[in-house]
Amino acid sequence: MNKIYANIDKLRNNNKVRYFFNSLSFISIVYLLYLIDLENINFSKLLNYTTIFIFILISFFYFSFAGSWSALIERKFFNKRLIILWLSSVIGKYIPTGLGVPLLRFEKLDKYEDNNSKIIILSTIKELVYTLLSCIFICFLFFFEIYVGMTNFTFFTLITISLVYIIYRYVSKKNINFFNFLITHLFLIILLSYLSYAQFQTIRIEFILVYILSSIISILAIGVPAGLGIKELAFIQILSMIGSAEGAIEFITFARIYFVFFDLILFFLIRFYRRVLS
């Protein structure tokens, strides 16, 4: 293992770094409270019976993402250890410079021994690339749906692709990473559709499209923790440019708060799970 990976290993096992990771929960809470104060949002509106359903959708989205990353390494969708490793690294996206996620994933993989650090980093980079490609493809579908005026074109296209791919995997036993990540984003679209309907009593296609576009922008903003501020600003500005900004701040704020809040819950659940096992 070369010096770069060795230094990353030392960082991860440094007590100060561990304390830093633990402090991420506090940072997330501060940011959560800031958003609530900004929009004068009260918890009675945020946390109600629909919150459970929203968290279930986020869970499906995350587990599918974890499985897709697992397939990059093991070429199979379900590997319990790799999925737990991915879930434990989610909180790392709030670390500046973009090192948090690979750092939290950096641990021994028995099958690969000393080469594990390289595999973790390369798989994380591939995950980023497939995520960008999936988002771009979905944006094209939404652009076509809006331009042609075909209602639910994107949703039914992704459903069809999912069914065909599932049958293909079952018959051929082969894995196509792009489709894993593409299908994963179907859960995100369902989540955004639900948030849109809860706020506007209708599904705002332009909100879903711009959310994915702003996600692409925030991913490209390397070093910004979880795209904080970048995604929100891009979302609001793009909708303002096309004249659909009404309700945009509340929508993007709610979406961010739900994800941050869920990340916090996941962080503590994973810590508890690992302590029980140890």
Q: Report pLDDT digits (tens) over 179-237.
A: 999 999 999 999 999 999 988 889 999 999 999 999 888 877 665 666 777 788 888 88
DSSP category for residue 278: -
Closest CA to 95 of 214, 226, 215, 222: 226
State pTM to two decimals: 0.82
Cα(19)–Cα(4) distance, integer angstroms: 22
Cα(166)–Cα(191) distance, integer angstroms: 22
Residues 266, 258: contact at Cβ < 8 Å?
no
Q: Tell me the domain boundaries of the chain.
A: 3-10+59-277
Residues 129, 151: contact at Cβ < 8 Å?
no
pLDDT higher than 90, residue 272:
no
Mean pLDDT throughout 84-112? 73
- Residue corresponding to tokens 């791919």: 165
Tens digits of residue pLDDT in 154-172: 999 999 999 999 999 889 8
